[in-house]
Amino acid sequence: MLVFEKNALSQEIESLVVKYGTSRSALLQILQEIQRKHKYISDFAQQEVARLMNIHPVEVNSVISFYSFLHSKPQGRNIVKLCKTISCDMAGKETVENAVKRELGISFNETTKDNRISLEYTSCLGQCDSGPAMIINEKVYTRLDPETAVKLLNELK
Amino acid sequence: MESKLKTKRTGQVIFSPYSSGEGIKKALSLGRENILFELKSSGLKGRGGAGFPTSTKWMLSAAAVADKKFIVCNADEGEPGTFKDRVLLQEYPELIFDGIVIAGFTIGAQTGIVYLRGEYEYLLEGLEDHLIKMRETNFLGKKILGKEGFDFDISIRLGSGAYVCGEETALIESLEGHRGEPRNRPPYPVDTGYMGYPTVVNNVETLSAVPHIIVKGADWYKKFGTEKSSGTKLFSVSGDCEKPGVYELPWGISIKELLELVEAKNTKAVQVGGASGTCIPKSQFNRKFGYEDLPTGGSIIIFNESRSMLKVLKNFMEFFVEESCGQCTPCRIGNTKLLEGVEKIETGEFTYAYINVLKDLGRTMQVASKCGLGQSSPNSFISILENFKDEIFHTKGQGGKNE
């Protein structure tokens, strides 16, 4: 990481801490904002959050490792999560899953070489009446078939 | 994305007509004691699945002495097959927020927090818009509707993809910025909750019923349902049927009636209560939903004759292995062992002695786990292996030569 990148990130985290406060209950909100923007929370970002909130970096890391939507390793620019729970599974999750894998040439829990898309599984998305369902970044897509799923992924920048 | 279906929904209680703020006005004129009385006589119980009487929760925290109190709305529905809260959050935010304000007034809280699961982040904007409208019309803010000393506001906090955070103490841990690991109970949140202050944690559906009960009265509410299970329940129906979706039905309806309503055909089994619930075979379809027989949080997953129950069970056990928070040993190790057992049955490398050991392990988990996750995760393992043993263990030969 370059020095000016580090400085920019520090400034960003400082403004988040100003926005949410230094109380421990603000930690998850701050981490969620960093995750939303950068798609992961780097070691340096974790240390900065810990320093500014006056807690141990291990505490920050343990919170990140607990929640499945927070990442400590770099991800692609778009995070795609496919629901693997029973109702979506019965509605045809597997055909969507296979089509997406073939099209991108990667497996789940992997990122494309051009860093465009990371594929993940997720537990029940609460769209069981209209599966198979998938979340792309924060947006939910339902009633997918392999063709639409692939089309959605191809539209991602 | 789904379209707005609000005009099409009809129901006896929650989906009955209601105009925003109606419940708050009535509640303020009734006063605290009368609200608690109405709620107690309505017999409303927690709709998340546990079924704890709502009035008791409110009374305990109303009686607690503290300079701050909190209302937390549990919108972290993560049980496989449940999506009723999504419909309420999207189409009936006025019910939820009015319910929170009424709860806040009753117990003397100043702050309401909605813990919205990360998967529903796309609903956040609509909810925030509704809160802004409520602030403009003084249903939130200082001196609500001119009531001296009643200041109340609501904020929304997002989860980050952890099923266990639906457990109320884990949810509070998460709100406090920690890992979502359940606490020991007691102390209960009603006296030691968020930040150590008295906190009422209620499910979205429970809070949505409150404004209706306040406006129309407990006697009206009790007309629906059965003697011990008053009112209606939202059922989230998915799986093999023609009409999946959210249905508001009175307690006391049987599985068979529900299956007819949603046009399910060739049904072999119904999973009641999601992955942590029980799997009901065809022979028991006359059982009725309600606290007397089949209590449920409302998740109904339907399986027809073509489904392999072993695969269903494997999906459930994979879910629990993934979602166990790992804090207590019975749940962390137990779920992994049960999943291993399912995989052994799948490949045929099992002994009945070992399966019986695993069923014992399941029963141990039910009593030894720290929270509801581990206490209920063996339910589907035990009920599926018991109710579908013919299919799983006694598959008949196809005929032919011996090789």
Q: Is A126 on the interface with B (CB under 8 A)?
A: yes
Q: Is A141 on the interface with B (CB under 8 A)?
A: yes
Beta-bridge mates of residue B230: B225
Confidence label for B395 from pLDDT (cuts 50, 70 and 90): confident
* Pairs across A and B, CB distance < 8 A: 129
Under an 8 A CB cutoff, do A26 and B177 touch? yes
Q: What is the pLDDT of residue B19?
A: 94
Q: What is the pLDDT of residue B10?
A: 84
Please write the tens of the pLDDT for every residue from A82-130: 999 999 999 999 999 999 999 999 999 999 999 999 999 999 999 999 9
Residues of B in Cβ contact (< 8 Å) with A63: 177-179
Joined tokens for residue B91 = 């189409």
* DSSP secondary structure letter of residue A67: -
Q: Which of B80, B175, B315 sits opposite A25 (nearest CB)?
A: B175
Q: Which of B121, B180, B240 sits opposite A138 (nearest CB)?
A: B121
Joined tokens for residue B194 = 């968020």
* DSSP secondary structure letter of residue A108: T
Q: Rounded to whole angstroms, what are the CA distances from A71 to A10, A75, A153, B321?
A: 18, 8, 21, 19
Confidence label for B77 from pLDDT (cuts 50, 70 and 90): very high
Provide the shortest C-alpha distance from residue B16 to chain A (in Å).
22
Provide the shortest C-alpha distance from residue A72 to chain B (in Å).
14
Provide the shortest C-alpha distance from residue A62 to chain B (in Å).
7
CB-CB neighbours of B132 under 10 Å: 10
Is the predicted pLDDT of residue A2 greater than 80, yes or no?
A: yes
Q: Is A82 on the interface with B (CB under 8 A)?
A: no
Residue of B385, B366, B386, B389 whose CA lies nearest to B377:
B366
**Residue to substitute from A28, A35, A62, interface B, most B β-carbons within 10 A:** A28
Distance CA B85, CA B203 (A): 9
What is the β-pairing status of strands A139-141 and A134-136? antiparallel
Q: Is A90 on the interface with B (CB under 8 A)?
A: yes
Q: Is A128 on the interface with B (CB under 8 A)?
A: yes
Distance CA B205, CA B203 (A): 5
Distance CA B20, CA B49 (A): 27
> What secondary structure, in 3-state letters, does chain B show?
CCCCCHHHCCCCCCCCCCCCCHHHHHHHHHCHHHHHHHHHHHCCECCCCCCCEHHHHHHHHHHCCCCCCEEEEEECCCCCCCCHHHHHHHHCHHHHHHHHHHHHHHHCCCEEEEEECHHHHHHHHHHHHHHHHHHHCCCCECCHHHCCCCCEEEEEEECCCCHHHHCHHHHHHHHCCCCCCCCCCCCCCCCCCHHHCCEEEEEHHHHHHHHHHHHHCHHHHHCCECCCCECEEEEEEEECCCCCEEEEEECCCEHHHHHHHCCCCCEEEEEECHHHCEEEEHHHCCCEECCCCECCCCEEEEEECCCCHHHHHHHHHHHHHHHCCCCCHHHHHHHHHHHHHHHHHHHCCCCHHHHHHHHHHHHHHHHHCCCHHHHHCHHHHHHHHHHCHHHHHCCCCCCCCCC
Q: What is the pLDDT of residue B7?
A: 56
Under an 8 A CB cutoff, do B162 and A67 touch? yes
The SS3 call for residue A43 is: helix
Kindly tell me the sign of the dihedral angle through the C-alpha atoms of B269, B89, B170, A49. Answer: positive
Residues of A in Cβ contact (< 8 Å) with B240: 90
Please write the tens of the pLDDT for every residue from B231-254: 999 999 999 999 999 999 999 999
Query: Taking residues B71-84, what's their average pLDDT?
Result: 96
**Residue B145, class by beta-carbon neighbours within 10 Å (0-12 exposed, 13-18 middle, 19+ buried)?**
middle
Whole-number percent of chain B with pLDDT over 90: 94
Please write the tens of the pLDDT for every residue from B160-211: 999 999 999 999 999 999 999 999 999 999 999 999 999 999 999 999 999 9
Q: Is A105 on the interface with B (CB under 8 A)?
A: no
Please write the tens of the pLDDT for every residue from A25-65: 999 999 999 999 999 999 999 999 999 999 999 999 999 99
Beta-bridge mates of residue B300: B237, B272
Query: Taking residues B67-73, what's their average pLDDT?
Result: 97
Under an 8 A CB cutoff, do B160 and A28 touch? yes
What DSSP element (H or E) covers A137? none
Residues of A in Cβ contact (< 8 Å) with B242: none
Q: What is the pLDDT of residue B1?
A: 42
Q: Which of B48-52, B66-70, B144-148, B150-154 has the lowest mean pLDDT?
A: B48-52
CB B10 within 8 A of CB B234: no
Q: Which of A32, A123, A135 sits opposite B158 (nearest CB)?
A: A32
Provide the shortest C-alpha distance from residue A46 to chain B (in Å).
14
Residues of A in Cβ contact (< 8 Å) with B178: 24, 27, 63
What DSSP element (H or E) covers A30? helix A27-38
Residues of A in Cβ contact (< 8 Å) with B309: none
Q: What is the pLDDT of residue B3?
A: 45
**Residue A6, class by beta-carbon neighbours within 10 Å (0-12 exposed, 13-18 middle, 19+ buried)?**
middle
Mean pLDDT of chain B: 94
Residue of B376, B239, B377, B392 whose CA lies nearest to B310:
B392
| Residue labelled with tokens 């060739």 | B266
Joined tokens for residue B337 = 């062992």
Is the predicted pLDDT of residue B20 greater than 80, yes or no?
A: yes
Query: Taking residues B283-295, what's their average pLDDT?
Result: 95
Residues of B in Cβ contact (< 8 Å) with A122: 119, 161
Q: What is the pLDDT of residue A1?
A: 81
Is the predicted pLDDT of residue A13 greater than 80, yes or no?
A: yes
User: Phi then psi for B170, rounded to 5 degrees?
Assistant: -65, -40
| CA B178 to mean position of chain CA atoms | 23
Residues of B in Cβ contact (< 8 Å) with A29: 157-158
Q: What is the pLDDT of residue B394?
A: 82
Please write the tens of the pLDDT for every residue from B358-382: 999 999 999 999 999 999 999 999 9
Residues of A in Cβ contact (< 8 Å) with B237: 129
Q: What is the pLDDT of residue B396?
A: 66
Q: What is the pLDDT of residue B402?
A: 60
Query: Taking residues B139-144, what's their average pLDDT?
Result: 96
Amino acid identity, position B309: M
Q: Rounded to whole angstroms, what are the CA distances from B16 to A50, B69, B150, B225, B289?
A: 49, 31, 28, 15, 21
What pTM value is reported for the model?
Answer: 0.95
CB A54 within 8 A of CB A24: no
